[in-house]
């Protein structure tokens, strides 16, 4: 039953956006002397854009009244701001303030024990993803995983399929034998465009999104004594848990 399991990071490994990324952006804005902050509502709209640097550029493009920078200076300022934001985010993640979502460590270890190739594919900066991954699954389990594909590994961020196509190519995985776990419309669209079956676990910013091509949508992956709920689609939950056999049954559903 071996195959491939590719997981998004933010919203899948941990519900990171509100208390992680948004908090880190606002701390970086304050530390570097920028006279604005992002509200939850503003950030929810920016999440439609894949990648932190891309979100910054979109925000400044949409708000020309903010005296930020222009031309080549804009690129340099965005890079410096995002670099500091990422440093703050890693500090938050490593402090333990971003706990893993239910069932993630359990399911990753079940897949590894069964001989599956398991990796993370995300638009976030690699160092941010690694910090969350180590916190959620532990260093020993992280060492067993096939890798992290993240950040600027591809030019076109989600909803483009590029990060998933890169992971498939680098890991030697066939789409029909691979399943993705995502949490957002943007990520689900990327998985769909790559021809991959995908399970969605809704997160704090995505409960109202639609996921038209998802193989199934659940509240989370479930833990013993804390069952997940199936919201839509055809995955069998075992005592309220998303299991490897349930994921295996989804594979190839987009072939």
Confidence band (pLDDT; 50, 70, 90) for 75?
confident
CA–CA dist 236, 242 (Å, integer)? 7
pLDDT beyond 90 at 67: no
Active site residue 10: yes
Please tell me the predicted confidence (pLDDT) of residue 92: 95
pTM above 0.95, yes or no: no
The answer, yes or no, to whether residue 115 has pLDDT greater than 90, is: yes
- Catalytic residue of the set 8, 15, 162, 183: 8
Tens-place pLDDT, residues 15-42: 999 999 999 999 999 998 888 999 999 9
Q: Tell me if residue 8 is catalytic.
A: yes
Mean pLDDT of the chain: 93
- 124-176 tens-digit pLDDT: 989 999 999 999 999 999 999 999 999 889 999 999 999 999 999 999 999 99
Residue of 10, 183, 185, 220 marked catalytic = 10
Say whether pLDDT at 1 is over 60.
no
| Helices 162-171 & 185-193 angle (0-180, nearest 10) | 50
Residue of 58, 60, 59, 23 lying closest to 40 (CA atoms)? 23
Can you tell me the mean pLDDT for 111-121? 98
Helix axis angle, 72-94 to 52-62, nearest 10°: 130
């Amino acid at each position: 039953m071996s195959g491939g399991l590719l997981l998004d990071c933010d919203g899948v490994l941990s519900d990171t956006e509100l208390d992680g990324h948004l908090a880190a952006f606002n701390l970086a804005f304050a530390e570097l002397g920028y006279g604005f902050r992002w509200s939850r509502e503003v950030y929810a709209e920016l999440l439609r854009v894949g990648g932190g640097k891309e979100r910054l550029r979109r925000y400044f493009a949409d708000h020309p009244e903010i005296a930020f920078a222009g031309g080549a200076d804009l690129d340099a300022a965005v890079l410096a701001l995002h670099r500091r934001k990422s440093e703050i985010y890693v500090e938050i993640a490593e402090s333990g303030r971003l706990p893993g979502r239910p069932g993630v460590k359990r399911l990753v270890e079940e897949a590894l024990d069964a001989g599956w190739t398991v990796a993370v594919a995300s638009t976030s900066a690699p160092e941010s993803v690694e910090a969350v991954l180590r916190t959620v699954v532990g260093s020993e389990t992280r060492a067993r995983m096939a890798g992290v594909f993240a950040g600027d590994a591809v030019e076109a961020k989600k909803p483009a399929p590029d990060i998933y196509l890169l992971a498939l190519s680098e890991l030697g995985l066939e789409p029909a034998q691979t399943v993705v776990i995502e949490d957002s419309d943007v990520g689900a669209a990327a998985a769909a465009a790559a021809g991959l079956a995908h399970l969605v676990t809704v997160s704090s910013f995505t409960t109202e999104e639609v996921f038209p091509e998802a193989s199934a949508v659940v509240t989370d992956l479930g833990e013993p004594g804390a069952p997940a709920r199936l919201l839509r689609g055809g995955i069998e939950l075992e005592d309220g848990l998303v299991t490897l056999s349930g994921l295996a049954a989804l594979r190839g559903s987009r072939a």
